[in-house]
Amino acid sequence: YVGNLSRDVTEVLILQLFSQIGPCKSCKMITEHTSNDPYCFVEFYEHRDAAAALAAMNGRKILGKEVKVNWATTPSSQKKDTSNHFHVFVGDLSPEITTEDIKSAFAPFGKISDARVVKDMATGKSKGYGFVSFYNKLDAENAIVHMGGQWLGGRQIRTNWATRKPPAPKSTQENNTKQLRFE
């Protein structure tokens, strides 16, 4: 995401500037809001190039205006379907570890479709675990193998395949009989 742009900035100019950092896949300029400054979305082929662009370009002046560069977030209504992607559970996270931290830590293993640190709804604090989703099964497997036991923040993290959350059992005995009855 690149915001606070001058009205004279074009997609071509943005692509010229950002391509110096790494190959760009696309640039989409949004100008229809008459009251707001134009903004655009620059998509890179490589996550690391996008991270480098964020670091290098945020706060820079383009045609006299200080631009704001940040990660683009998809509105939840447009949340992409990741049900057929490969989800990795990441546990034992330090409280200060953010979604961006786990995304950065797992980025070298392949293209990530989604990543998040699970937070307590009431306090907004991390629950100490999260999930990273990969498009490719091999990337997810490599991440599980190589990231398990690695230090992130001040703790060694655990990694495993994420499993769908089963319904909360009332008691194990009751749950087993129910499962048998329905199978």
> What pLDDT is stored for residue 183 in this prediction?
46
pTM: 0.48
CA gap 103, 47 in Å, rounded: 10
Confidence of residue 31 (pLDDT cuts 50, 70, 90): confident
Q: Where in the chain is the domain with CATH 3.30.70.330?
A: 2-69, 81-161
- pLDDT tens column, 120-130: 888 889 999 99
CATH superfamily of 2-69: RRM (RNA recognition motif) domain (3.30.70.330)
Exposure on the CB side of residue 72, measured as CA atoms within 13 A: 17
- The CATH architecture assigned to 81-161 reads 2-Layer Sandwich (3.30)
Identify the helix (H) or strand (E) that includes residue 178. helix 172-182
